[in-house]
Amino acid sequence: MTLPLANLPRHVAIIMDGNGRWAKKRLLPRYAGHTAGTETVRKVVQFCTEIGIECLTLFAFSSENWRRPEREVGMLMDLFLNALQREANRLHKNNVQLRIIGERSAFPQKLQDKIQQVEELTASNTGLKLRVAANYGGRWDLVQAFQKLALQAQAGLLNPQNMTANSLAEHLALNDLPEPDLFIRTGGERRISNFLLWQLAYTELYFTEVLWPDFDRENFQLALQDFASRQRRFGRTGDQVEQNKTC
């Protein structure tokens, strides 16, 4: 399969769904699915680095995932901690800059400390910008941005009349990255599930039945090829877009 190298997305955002079903199909406990999913994360990061994707944002744990059985939540926390411990040096060596987006204060202290340590280690790296959304929700992101704007207005630093979409976007997670060009959701569901609600406004959406632990290079390439075939109009007509190409 050939890669559409000329029309690669700069930023890919992924909902990694299907770990539980992958395990169930094999009569394994759910944690085995999450463990296999972690391996897919490693491979996808590697692939993005190789082909020159600039930014990758992964949804690892949503604000709503606390509703899962306590044992599964605890297991996911351990898994994140282990993955950070194991992968930190490899990420750094591959020039990856890792940041976690989301409300991290709810995580065990040990995990918070590790996150900070890996973020600091990789902060100056200039390769793939990897963002992992953990205890993240699109509504949470918007609310915390509104709160910051409201505080500025209250302090007299911002006139509400002058507020623009950009004023809000400046306070959102991912404010340092271009908006995602391509969104992928594995596992067959066709929902955004409170992921990057604001940032996905013009993103091309791609859904696949493949369960996250089975999502391999070939599946990723199919998504990239599908993306390359889309015409992105951003509100303009198709003819306008075609004309701009030839100018």
Question: Interface residues with ligand FPP (CB under 6 A)?
Answer: 16-21, 34, 37-38, 41, 58, 60, 65, 79-80, 83, 132, 187, 212
Q: Among the options 7, 19, 65, 194, which is catalytic?
A: 65
Q: Cα–Cα distance between 62 and 209 in angstroms, integer? A: 21
- Report, in Å, the least distance between residue 59 CB and ligand FPP: 7
Q: Among the options 17, 19, 135, 181, which is catalytic?
A: 17
User: Quick one: DSSP state of residue 157?
Assistant: S
**60 or 145: whose CB is closer to ligand FPP?**
60
**63 or 203: whose CB is closer to ligand FPP?**
63
- Report, in Å, the least distance between residue 207 CB and ligand FPP: 14
**79 or 142: whose CB is closer to ligand FPP?**
79
Pairing mode, strands 182-185 and 204-207: parallel
Going by C-alpha positions, the residue among 25, 40, 63, 36 that lies closest to residue 196 is 63
- Report, in Å, the least distance between residue 90 CB and ligand FPP: 13
Please name the residues in contact with 180: beta carbons below 8 A apart, sequence gap of 6 or more: 9, 11, 12, 13, 55, 57, 196, 199, 200, 203
User: Quick one: DSSP state of residue 159?
Assistant: -
State yes or no: is 216 an active-site residue. Answer: no
Indicate which residues carry an active-site annotation.
Answer: 17, 65
